[in-house]
Amino acid sequence: MADEPALSAGIAFAPAEASAVVARRRVIGWGGAGVVLGATAGGSAVAAVRSDNGTRTAAAAGEAVAFHGTHQAGIVTPVQDRLHFAAFDITTDDRDEIVRLLKDWTAAARLMAEGRPVGEGAVGGLAEAPPDDTGEALGLQPSRLTLTVGFGPGLFSRLGLSRPEALVDLPKFPGDALDTRRSGGDLCVQACADDPQVAVHAIRNLARIGFGKVAVRWSQLGFGKTSSTTPEAQTPRNLMGFKDGTHNVAGSDRAAQSKHVWVAQKDGPAWMAGGSYLVARRIRMHIETWDRTSLKEQEDVFGRTKGEGAPIGRKRERDTPDFRAMKADAHVRLAHPDNSGATILRRGYSFTDGTDGLGRLEAGLFFLAYQRDVRSGFISLQKQLAKHDALNEYIQHVGSAVFAVPPGVSGSDDWWGRTLFETAEGA
């Protein structure tokens, strides 16, 4: 660790330098990959995807998702295949150091989202110093990498800032078996990409930049998205074998997003306008028990068929549910907004972290949900589910965290959290 000061000193994150560093796609191009050169034709190293009104639209696999926008990328962005999520503890009480960190993180994230290495790159700096970038993403495409940052309750208390009212501590729900080593966090970064190495590279480099100011508290790798914000695409399946994400807030549904996902100016605090609140829950599945359960029981638990994903009593996946045809404790019946009164945007991933020592798969769903207010969103829903959901026999919530996700970064001189730290509320 003695080399860390030299490392930080060597990192140059000024946006102007972005053009001087080598885009990963160009690196491939130099290697002779004509297909990639074709993709960069027109002089742009990066196909950042953005519509006229400034919101992001779908990017093809491998492409870059625009980093700048009213909202952070990685929320309504079409869900990528892989996740690396990290929660950090803040290890300094110096507000200025955290501001510096957020500026450095933003500059690095901007580069990585474009498929570029951070700072002077993995090989471009002084031979006598550790490289600014760790290098394992050289030659890889941007892979629709999105980096989404969130502020946990501890950030506010530690830095003496007032905490948004909607960022409440979650109550203890019946059945919770939360592991404190996999819960909480003062800051979080959600990295999603179609290539796992790109997501891991991003978290690793942000953690490295944060040395001395933040330390990773816990992290979670995820695969096989268990949700969808693109109803027109095939719905993915979770590890229980069911289509997951059928009825979710769609990336194209602006009205639903304004109503249920984005914090409005009038909600307060002003710095959160355009942001959202994130609830992360590590939910373990008792896979072995589930696998010994009859198909009929499995379908009754969810209230949907396993093959088509249709609501019980209906034929097609997108048919309107008939709740009377479902069991009273069916997951979908309880969770549907008509019955729960709550709408959240789900963006979870499956995980398998080996076995638990008793030969059982340490597997489940890393549940990520974005909402305008945690009280009327996750808490309201989970109160019902924790008490009545038939699924509870097969799952257990073992990790939990909640974060205020600030609005997007508007341009090259903006940074994550500026609206908080540069306003009266953050002063």
Residues 404 and 375: their CA atoms lie apart, in Å, by 13
Residue 86 β-bridge partners: 189, 219
* Binding site residues, ligand HEM, CB under 6 A: 238, 240, 242-248, 283, 285, 302, 304, 331-332, 335-337, 364-365, 367, 378, 381-382, 385, 395
Nearer to ligand HEM, 15 or 313 (CB): 313
Query: What are the φ and ψ backbone dihedral angles of 161, each rounded to 5 degrees?
Result: -105, 155
Of all helices (H) and strands (E), which one includes residue 254?
helix 254-260
Residue type, 245: G
Residue with tokens 């109803």: 231
Residue 6 β-bridge partners: none
Residues 409 and 412: their CA atoms lie apart, in Å, by 8
Residues 245 and 142: their CA atoms lie apart, in Å, by 25
- Are 149 and 105 within 8 A, CB to CB? yes
Residues 168 and 392: their CA atoms lie apart, in Å, by 24
* Torsion angle in degrees (nearest 10) through CA of 125, 127, 130, 136: 70
Using only C-alpha atoms, the chain has a radius of gyration, in whole angstroms, of 22
- Are 365 and 283 within 8 A, CB to CB? yes
